[in-house]
Structure 1
Amino acid sequence: MATYIVLINFTDQGIRNVKQTTERAKALTAAGQRLGIKVKDIYWTLGAHDAVLVADAPNDEAIT
């Protein structure tokens, strides 16, 4: 498996529901597991991107 770094930008809906971000991250992690993806870390950031995800995935197709 390869390790991927994914830069995340919130949609308008994500910005409106920012207080639910940790719950959404848990749901993303669970959905990834069903695709064979292991989420290692999620970091919330300031600047050009809203978050950074570090994950192991079996291939490019699974992570995109």
Structure 2
Amino acid sequence: MTQQQELPTLLSGYDVDLFRSGKHYHIYNKLGAHTGSEADIQGGTFRGVGAERGGSVGYR
């Protein structure tokens, strides 16, 4: 069994609550692609997606 790695996120618990209730009017600031410096990650790009009922999300 592979161990899942906890990844950094731009979403706080409050963001998740607002998103689930359909009242997060600035979610566009959190989802999509952000450079590593915007997300406090060294190098690379952070990608945020919304998959409410998705078990997982993959990138190719």
TM (normalized to structure 2)? 0.33
Pick the structure with more strand per residue.
Answer: 1
Q: Is the helix fraction higher in 1 or 2?
A: 1
Q: Which has the larger radius of gyration?
A: 2
TM-score, normalization: structure 1? 0.32
Tell which has more relative contact order, 1 or 2 (C-alpha 8 A, sep 6+). Answer: 1
